[in-house]
Amino acid sequence: MLKWNNQLADNLKWTGDISNREQKELVALRVAEHVKDGQVIGVGSGSTAFLAIQAIASKVKKENLTVTAIPTSVEVALSCARAGISTTTLAQTRPDWGFDGADEVDSEFNLIKGRGGAMFAEKLVMASSPKTYILVDESKFVNRLGHNFPVPVEIDPRAIHLVETKLQEMDVSAVGLRMAKHKDGPVITEAGNLILEVRFNHIGLTTEQDLNAIPGVIENGIFFNYPVEVISN
Ligand code: 5RP
């Protein structure tokens, strides 16, 4: 029988540096206030979502609540398991609500997400939730989407030339392939795909759909007009 190895589980702690940690911890505590017994909660990715899992797990323990998470990546599923929160999938149920981080938020609460490469699952879970709390520190607010970050676009590897050609017909200033940290190969998503980083001169109402209309594009990191409520300090 497979036994859970606690040493391995310890490796599941967030290992990277967390920028603006104090601000992120505050918004994590605020989202935990929304948790009620019996709820199914969509759980996004990134360091802020990770801190929110810890805040929710501690409330769940203290108040003896039962909640179930729908995680947006394997990493998030493991973080939930380690925090004692059971998980389910979108194939089984839908979330009562969800939470996630973001890389950019504009004044209309449109988002760019996907620095962690999980935007496909993040969008599936967000689109399945009546409401998603977006947890951000103040560094995430921008006047226009694309100001700080390129748009990540997940593509089937076989479509790389086709997508590159089609992007040239859009209002794009630069396209790059997301590389692994040590630049020894491309980032491969959980679904075995590549991620293009696309700089747009302008991101408009239809950019999200225009990107997804290119054959071979799985999903992109523009979240336009989703039912979100932003929690920030
Ligand atoms: C991952 C995401 C994250 O939510 C986004 O990158 C924000 O991350 P962090 O909370 O670490 O700043 O979209 O795909």
Question: What is the CA(116)–ligand 1 centre distance, in A?
Answer: 6
Q: Whose CA is nearest to atom 1 of ligand 1?
A: 116
Return d(Cα 211, Cα 114) in angstroms, integer.
15
ipTM: 0.98
Structural tokens at position 116: 């962690």
Domain ranges in the chain with CATH number 3.40.50.1360: 7-142+226-232
Q: Is the CB of 103 under 6 A from ligand 1?
A: yes
What per-residue confidence (pLDDT) applies to 17?
82
Contacts of 72 (CB under 8 A, 6+ apart): 42, 43, 44, 45, 100, 118, 121, 122, 124, 125
Q: How far is CA 173 from the centre of its chain?
A: 25
Q: Are 202 and 170 in contact (CB under 8 A)?
A: no
Average pLDDT for consecutive 10-residue bins of the chain (233 residues)? 51 71 96 98 97 98 98 97 97 98 98 97 98 96 97 98 96 96 91 98 97 98 98 93
Answer yes or no: is the C-beta of 123 below 6 A from any ligand 1 atom: no
The residue written with tokens 């449109």 in the block is 110
Q: Which CATH architecture has domain 151-220?
A: 2-Layer Sandwich (3.30)
CATH 3.30.70.260 residue window(s) in the chain? 151-220
Fold of 7-142+226-232: Rossmann fold (3.40.50)
Report the catalytic residues.
Answer: 122
Which residues have C-beta within 8 Å of that of residue 116, sequence separation ≥ 6?
45, 46, 73
Is the C-beta atom of 228 inside 6 A of ligand 1? no
